[in-house]
């Protein structure tokens, strides 16, 4: 199972690399998942230090869905509801998981807090 | 190299034609498959994998695909979905919203810069209510509503362009929550929301299996959200096999339709195989028993040939190996590899977007089928 996690992290990184424009230096993919629905948002930093975003590919969503399903199989009592995957252009990555409720209507508020926590201040 | 390239150029004359697909050898006569044999694309299998692939598909795959195209136009088998809209059409309405249909006349997307409708219920007349009550026709479930792609509260249409059969729970919870979030932004004054709602059909029916909703608030990074339209397709364990009857019947229609047509396209043969596997599981009372193992052996053996020709053949081959290592590892990966190869071949072919779309639709059905089989196996 741990191997599968490693594979999925690699696949997430690959999907991001495929989707991002040339010259990106760092990227953040933020996903929220419940049993029947989920979301993903992608920001990145370009060489000039400007924060940009891309349209997230569906394939990236699918990888996060699989990651969440894997968690469901491992320990159904403790399944993450949010994940932040941070990747730099050298391939180093980091994943944070959150376990708080994720009411869809309050996504905008959560995103504002998430941006403060992860993105460079604009 | 793709499966199609390896078998025959699209449009080339048939190598063989018959009124029904060739019978497959009984499962017990299939030679056991070794994972290491399959994973090496250069290792010849006996009989020749390409011969086996061609034979399985009632002749050249290219011919099968041409047949598919013809089927879509005339559909003598009656299994292609018949949507209420003109096919492959785009329509922009007075609110600046764009609606699209697919080659089966099903609504596939609704998009635009959202505007608040101050009087949503007042804009719904009797015809609109009727359209909402009937969305999905025969494929609508008792537990479905007529769900709007873009809600009436944003001036979304209440007609076939914007309505699909949608699980009532989804309509009243997740989907509504998304809309509430948009409304909050718009009502704040000066807030803007651009949104696109896409209906995804993994099966040859008028009922979407999921919705992919992409929206951007005030020009910020878009959220891509996927919402499953469960109820019909949401069986995930052997205890749910009863619910899968509708699915098995759909797959049955697929394979029967192909026999009527006398020609089988590669992607659809997979669907038929998924159906066989599903039936075998059911014969075994919802568990993995004798029937399942025999059928799985036959199916995997047959597809190993195709996998060798597919782009990513090695990956597919490994999946076949994994299949035998423990049934939990599944036909899904095999099917995915093969369909990927077929779709790749099609994308570069001269058959045009209709056929590609058709293959994608078939591929979706197969993926869904494979997922279902996985569900059974995972019990």
Q: What is the mean pLDDT of chain B?
A: 60
Predicted ipTM of the assembly = 0.97
Tens digit of each residue's pLDDT (9 = 90 or more) over B158-210: 999 999 999 988 998 899 999 999 999 998 877 999 999 999 987 778 999 99
What is the structure's pLDDT at B276? Answer: 53
From chain B, the residues in CB contact with A68 under 8 A are none
Tens digit of each residue's pLDDT (9 = 90 or more) over A89-116: 999 999 999 999 999 999 999 999 999 9
Rounded alpha-carbon distances, angstroms, from residue B12 to B17, B59, B68, B71:
13, 11, 15, 18
- Shortest CA gap B14–chain A (Å): 36
Pick the closest to residue B78 from B271, B231, B256, B276 (CA basis). B256
Banded model confidence at residue B123, pLDDT cuts 50, 70, 90:
low
Q: For A108, which residue in chain B has the nearest alpha carbon? A: B181
- Shortest CA gap B206–chain A (Å): 20
From chain B, the residues in CB contact with A41 under 8 A are 221-224
Q: Higher model confidence: residue B127 or residue B115?
A: B115
Contact between chains at A53 and B224 (C-beta distance less than 8 A): no
What is the structure's pLDDT at A32? Answer: 97
Q: Which residues pair with A27 in a beta bridge?
A: A44, A87
From chain B, the residues in CB contact with A37 under 8 A are 174, 225-228
The residues, any chain, with a CB within 8 Å of residue B375's CB and separated by 6 or more, are B235, B236, B237, B240
* Contact with chain B for residue A37, Cβ under 8 A: yes
Contact between chains at B226 and A108 (C-beta distance less than 8 A): no
Q: Measure the CA–CA gap between B192 and B115, rounded to whole angstroms.
A: 8
Banded model confidence at residue B245, pLDDT cuts 50, 70, 90:
very low
Rounded alpha-carbon distances, angstroms, from residue B350 to A121, B7, B355, B356:
50, 16, 9, 10
Tens digit of each residue's pLDDT (9 = 90 or more) over B267-318: 345 445 554 555 554 454 544 445 544 444 444 434 333 333 333 333 333 3
- Shortest CA gap A15–chain B (Å): 15
Tens digit of each residue's pLDDT (9 = 90 or more) over A24-77: 999 999 999 998 999 999 999 999 999 999 999 999 999 999 999 999 888 888
Mutate to test the interface with B, among A67, A81, A103, A105 (most CBs of B within 10 A): A105
* pTM of the full structure: 0.61
Q: How many CB pairs under 8 A join A and B?
A: 58
Q: Higher model confidence: residue B373 or residue B174?
A: B174
């Amino acid at each position: 199972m741990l191997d599968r996690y490693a594979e999925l992290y690699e696949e997430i990184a690959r999907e991001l690399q495929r989707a991002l424009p040339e010259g990106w230096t760092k990227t953040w993919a933020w996903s929220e998942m419940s049993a029947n629905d989920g979301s993903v948002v992608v920001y990145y930093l370009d060489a000039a230090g400007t924060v940009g975003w891309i349209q997230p590919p569906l394939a990236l969503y699918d990888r996060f869905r699989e990651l969440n399903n894997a968690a469901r199989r491992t320990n159904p009592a403790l399944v993450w509801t949010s994940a932040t995957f941070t990747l730099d252009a050298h391939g180093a990555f980091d994943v944070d998981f959150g376990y708080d409720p994720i009411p869809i209507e309050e996504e905008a508020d959560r995103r504002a807090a998430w941006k403060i926590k992860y993105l460079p201040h604009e | 190299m793709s499966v199609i390239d390896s078998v025959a150029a699209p449009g080339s004359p048939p190598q063989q034609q018959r009124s029904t697909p060739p019978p497959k050898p009984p499962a017990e006569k299939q030679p056991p498959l070794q994972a290491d044999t399959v994973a090496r694309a250069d290792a010849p299998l006996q009989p020749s994998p390409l011969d086996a692939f061609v034979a399985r598909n009632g002749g050249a795959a290219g011919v099968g695909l041409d047949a598919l195209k013809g089927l879509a136009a005339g559909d003598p088998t009656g299994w292609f979905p018949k949507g209420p809209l003109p096919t492959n059409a785009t329509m922009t309405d007075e609110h600046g919203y764009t609606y699209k249909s697919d080659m089966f006349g099903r609504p596939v997307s609704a998009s635009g810069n959202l505007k608040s409708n101050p009087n949503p219920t007042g804009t719904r007349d009797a015809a609109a209510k009727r359209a909402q009550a009937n969305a999905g026709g025969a494929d609508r479930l008792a537990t479905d509503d007529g769900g709007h792609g873009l809600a009436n509260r944003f001036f979304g249409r209440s007609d076939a362009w914007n309505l699909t059969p949608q699980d009532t729970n989804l309509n009243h919870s997740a989907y509504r929550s998304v809309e509430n979030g948009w409304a909050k932004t718009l009502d704040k004054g000066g807030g803007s929301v651009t949104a696109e709602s896409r209906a995804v059909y993994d099966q040859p029916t008028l009922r979407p299996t999921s919705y992919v909703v992409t929206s951007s608030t005030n020009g910020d990074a878009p959220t891509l959200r996927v919402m499953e339209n469960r109820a019909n397709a949401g069986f995930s364990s052997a205890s749910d096999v009863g619910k899968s009857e509708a699915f098995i019947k759909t797959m049955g229609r697929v394979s029967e339709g192909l026999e009527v047509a006398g020609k089988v396209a590669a992607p659809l043969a997979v669907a038929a195989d998924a159906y066989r596997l599903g039936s075998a599981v059911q014969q075994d009372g919802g568990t993995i028993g004798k029937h399942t193992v025999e059928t799985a052996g036959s199916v995997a053996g047959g597809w190993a040939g195709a996998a060798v020709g597919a782009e990513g053949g090695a990956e597919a081959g490994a999946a076949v190996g994994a299949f035998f290592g423990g049934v939990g590892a599944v036909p899904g990966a095999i099917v995915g590899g093969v369909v990927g190869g077929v779709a790749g071949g099609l994308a570069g072919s001269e058959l045009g977007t209709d056929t590609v779309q058709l293959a994608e639709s078939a591929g979706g059905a197969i993926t869904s089928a494979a997922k279902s089989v996985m569900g059974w196996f995972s019990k």
